[in-house]
Each structure stands twice: as C-alpha cells, then as structure tokens.
Amino acid sequence: MQIKSEKKIWWISFVFLAIIIILVLSANYLGVRPTVTGSGVEGITLPEGFVIDVYADDLGSTLLSFGGPSPGPRMMMIKDGLLFVSIPNKGIIAILPDRNNDNIADELQIFIRDLDYPHGIDYYDGWFYIAEESRVIRVRDDDGDLVADNGSIEVLIDNLPTGGHYTRTVKVHDDELYLSMGSSCNVCDESDKMRAAISKSNLDGSNLTVFASGLRNSVGLAFHPVTGQLYVTENGRDWLGDNTPPDEINLIVEGGNYGWPDCYGKNIFDTDFNNSEYIGNPCNDSGRIPSLIDLQAHSAPLGLAFYDGDMFPEEYQGDLFVCFHGSWNRQEPTGYKIVNIDMDTLQVNDFATGWLKAATISGRPVDVIVADDGSLFVSDDNAGKIYRIYYAG
C-alpha cells in the first residue's frame, strides 16, 4: 500500500511539474503575453499625417489564442457603404452601419447566423458568397432589410475537409469563384488536393478545380485593380527556428505550384521535411514557383489590399497593405502590425505599429480593406475591434 501511495505522489508531482514547464514555455518561448485594456489605439504609430480610430468595439476578444476559430472579427467587405464582417466562433456574418456618418459604427446587426465558422465573404450580382469551414454557400437579400432572405441559401461546395487550418477565404473575380484552403498540418504530404491550395469554380460551384497548389496557408487573396493578377499571403511552416522559413507574398498563376511542403521562400529545399538526396536543387528542377516577396518568419501575414483610394498621398497609391497577425513559434515576438509594400520596388515598410510593446500585445490585425472614402478598415480578432485609418494631412 505504501508503494502504491508513493507512486501516486510521484505521478502527481510529475504532472504538476509538466504543467509548470508548459506554462513557462507558453509565456517565454512561444511569446504568449496577456492583452492590455484601453481604447485599442494608444501607442499605435503611423506615418506623419495619418490617424487611427476605433470604428467598432466589443466584437469578441480574448487573451492571446493560437489555433482554432478566432473570437473576434476576421474578413471584411463593403456593400452599398455598409461594412460586413465575419466572426467565426460566433457563427455569424455581421453588419456595422454608420448611419450618422461620424465614422463610428452605430450597432452590430446580424446578417446571417448559425454558420460553421464563417470566414471569407464576398458579393457579386445579388449574391453574398460565404466560406464556412465545411462548405461554401451564397445567400440573397432581395428585400433589402439587411438580413439574409429565408430560404435563399444555396450550398455551392459541400463536404470540405475540416481540421488543421480552419479558415476558408472566398473571392469572386471575372465571373469565377476562388476558394483558398490551408493545410491540415504543419508540414506533410496532403491526401486531399484541395488542401494547401486555391481552387476555382463557376459561380454555382460547378467545375471545381485546383487553380494553384503548394500554398500552406494563404488566408489573404487580392486581385490587382488594374492587372487583375492574384496576389496572396502565405504563412510558412513552424519549428525551423526563429527566422526560418520566411512568410511570403506570392503572385499566383494558374497551375502553379508554390513549393510547400518541400520548398519555401526563394525555392529553398526543406531538408528537415524531405531528407532524400538530390543532385542540384529539386525545387528549381521541379518547376516550383519561388515567393515574390519574403517576409519576416512567423509574422503570420493574413489580409491584404491594394490601395486604390484617393485619400492617401501619392506615394501610397498602388501600394499593397498587409496585416501581420503575429507570432507564436518564436522566442522574440514579431508581427502585430500593418506594412505597406511598394509594388515598384517590392520594398516592405512599417505602416502601423505598436500593438506589440515589450511584454504586452494589445491587438492582432487580421484583414484590411479600402473604404469608400479612401480610408482603411482593419479588423482585430484579439481585441475585438475594427479600426479606421485615415489621412488628415
């Protein structure tokens, strides 16, 4: 009996010690920090002449969370001057109207509810397209009451694989539907060709094919307003160190393979995953397409948008704005900011910083879109806010 008691005490001590080790790792190595309270814009630094305000608040917030559906607002779109936003873990698409034009949302109105972790949203020709984790649907609002019409749901793509990266981003371009789906794992050979890929279909979901592959987790999709070319963000794999592999911006061509899981960045061969011996560079030899732009590893670039408004100064016209959601797989936290990229030089510049300060993280930017007046809307799924960035000169 005494031996059993000693074993029980030893086992409890072991479990307790393991919990302590996990907590220490979470607090130090993984860069997890508690959020701070406040309006959400204290200490945010912008270029001279720019101002950031909170457009909407109390949309869901949490301490830093990594993996799983986010608690706050994610992807956005504007229709008839109204801001639509997905809130995955609430299962809703919401509308945030500003009827008195004071640049503050008047309320949160639910456009549609009871969805399966909705993420991507777009509008075209009377239909609202919504990407849930397990399917893609479209709905109408023919009576204009800002609530999806009862019975209007059409399931376009069903039985999507779940697990792993849960986000699904959808865009309509040139009468075709594009769907991005992340990988089921950190690094692996996928059995489902739609994972770690961008697919394309007709607007009714028919003729679904893989458009581009080798994209571990491309959350943000943006079509260039002039050329129509598709640009995406790319979240690289974990556990190769603080600065490897780079996150990426990729220029997508139909049929292109962008390397994952065997290659990353400028066609660097991932020998940690694939330790087979090759002569030469198998990434180049197999026709993998290298990144357009390498970004700081583990920054987690998500939403992106080309600036085509008329509010910002000339130097920002045509720039690509990208939200860095922030790191977890890194000793020194990184990201938690917005950058702008000069598309002529491909130079990456800090635009909005300050959500990361020493031992605290006050927000995690997700998506960015250009508003009708030329300002930027930015969603923050950790602080549960929508920011508005404008130029005051």
Specify the CATH number for the domain of residue 246: 2.120.10
Amino acid at 121: I
341-362 burial, b at 16+ Cβ within 10 Å, e below that, comes to bebeeeebeebbbbbbeeeebb
Report residue 280 CA to chain centroid gap. Answer: 35
Instruction: Look at residue 32 and tell me whether its pLDDT is greater than 90.
Output: no
List the single range of 62-76, 245-259, 261-275, 337-351 with lowest mean pLDDT: 62-76
Helices and strands of the chain, counted as H and E runs? 2, 28
Nearest to 116 by CA among 128, 130, 132, 131: 132
Q: Quick one: pLDDT band at residue 23, thresholds 50, 70, 90?
A: very low
Tokens read off for 257: 């393979």
Work out the average pLDDT over 155-169: 97
206-229 pLDDT, tens per residue?
999 999 999 999 999 999 999 999
For residue 35, pLDDT beyond 50:
no
Residue 200 covered by a domain: no
Assign 38 to helix, strand or coil.
coil
Share of the chain above pLDDT 90, in %: 82
In degrees and rounded to multiples of 5, residue 3 shows phi and psi of -65, -45
Upper half-sphere CA count for residue 195 (Cβ side, 13 Å):
20
Answer whether residue 285 is part of any domain: yes
Q: Say if residue 341's pLDDT is above 60.
A: yes
Q: Encode pLDDT of 82-113 as tens digits.
A: 999 999 999 999 999 999 999 999 999 999 99
What tens digit of pLDDT does each residue of 372-387 get? 999 999 999 999 999 9
On whether residue 368 sits in a domain, the answer given is: yes
For residue 3, pLDDT over 80 is answered with no
| Chain CA centroid to CA 28, Å | 24
Q: Indicate whether 54 pLDDT > 70.
A: yes
Which pLDDT score is estimated for 36? 38
pLDDT at 16: 52
Is the pLDDT confidence value at 285 over 80? yes
User: Is residue 122 in some structural domain?
Assistant: no
Is 356 inside any structural domain? Answer: yes
The total number of structural domains that make up the chain: 1
Residue 78 has pLDDT above 70, yes or no: yes
Residue 307 lies in a domain: yes
With a cut of 80, say whether residue 368 has pLDDT above it: yes
Q: Which domain holds residue 344?
A: 31-87+94-106+181-190+213-391
**Segment 245-267 mean pLDDT:** 98
Query: Quick one: pLDDT band at residue 37, thresholds 50, 70, 90?
Result: very low
What per-residue confidence (pLDDT) applies to 21? 43
* In-domain check, residue 24: no
The pLDDT of residue 10 is above 60: no
| 204 part of a folded domain | no
Burial status of residue 116 (CB atoms within 10 A of its CB: 0-12, 13-18, 19 or more): middle
Per-residue confidence (pLDDT) for residue 11, from 0 to 100 = 56
